[in-house]
Amino acid sequence: MIPYSILAIENDDDREFMTQLYLDYNRLMYSEIKKIIKREQDREDVMQTVLEKLIDKIPLLRSRTRNQLINYIISACKFTSFNLLREYGAKRETDYEDYIASPTTKQDEREIELKMIADEELETLRRVLPKLDLRTQCLLEGYYILEKPMAELGAELGIKPSSVRMSLTRARKKAFELLENEAFGGTS
C-alpha cells in the first residue's frame, strides 16, 4: 500500500517517481529503521518522516546514481531514527551500540552493502564511520551524504549555527585520524 504522503503529491511525474522509489526501497528503509527503533509505532512515524523528507528532495534524488540513491536513503533512515531517539530522550549510544553489534543475517542486505561500498566517493567514509561517535557520524552523514545545509544540520543536532563549521572540521579530523591509524599499523 502506497503511503498517503506519496499519493498526495500533485505533480504526476514526481508522484510516479516516489511511488517507484517506495516500491523499490521500502523493505530496505524499514530494515534500516528497525535496526535502530524498537517500537513498531515509532518505526511507522520514522518511515513517514523519511518519506516526507525524500519528497522534498525529489530533484536531488533524480540526479543520483543507484548506489548514491541507496546510500542517501539509508542515511536518511538512520539520521531520522536517531533524531527520534534524541527527541524522546532515549540513550542513543546504547541503541546505536545494539545496532552496530546486531548481526546481518539476510544475504540480500549484505549484497546491498557490498554494492554501496563500491561507490568510490563514499567508500573511505563508510569504512571509518561506524568507529566514530554518534555525533560525529551524524555530522558527516548529514553534511556529505544527505547534503543538509549547515543551519539545518546545526538545528537538528542542537549545535549553534556558528559552531557547525568547526564541528565538521573536528569530525573530519577524527575520521582522518582513524584512517591514518588503520593505514599505519593501528587497530582496524
Q: What's residue 184's pLDDT?
A: 65
| Average pLDDT score over residue span 76-82 | 88
Give the CA diameter of the chain: 55
**CATH code, 157:** 1.10.10
106 has a pLDDT exceeding 70: no
In a domain, 124, yes or no: no
157 and 102, same domain (yes or no): no
Q: Are 62 and 97 in contact (CB under 8 A)?
A: no
Structurally, how many domains does the chain consist of?
2
**CATH code, 72:** 1.10.1740
Residue 28: partners with Cβ closer than 8 Å, 6 or more residues away: 70, 73, 74, 109, 112
Residue 33: partners with Cβ closer than 8 Å, 6 or more residues away: 43, 46, 47, 50, 77, 80, 81
Domain containing 82: what range?
A: 1-119
152 has a pLDDT exceeding 90: no
165 has a pLDDT exceeding 60: yes
pLDDT in tens, 2-25: 888 898 899 999 999 999 999 999
C-alpha cell at 155: 538545528
In a domain, 24, yes or no: yes
112 has a pLDDT exceeding 50: yes
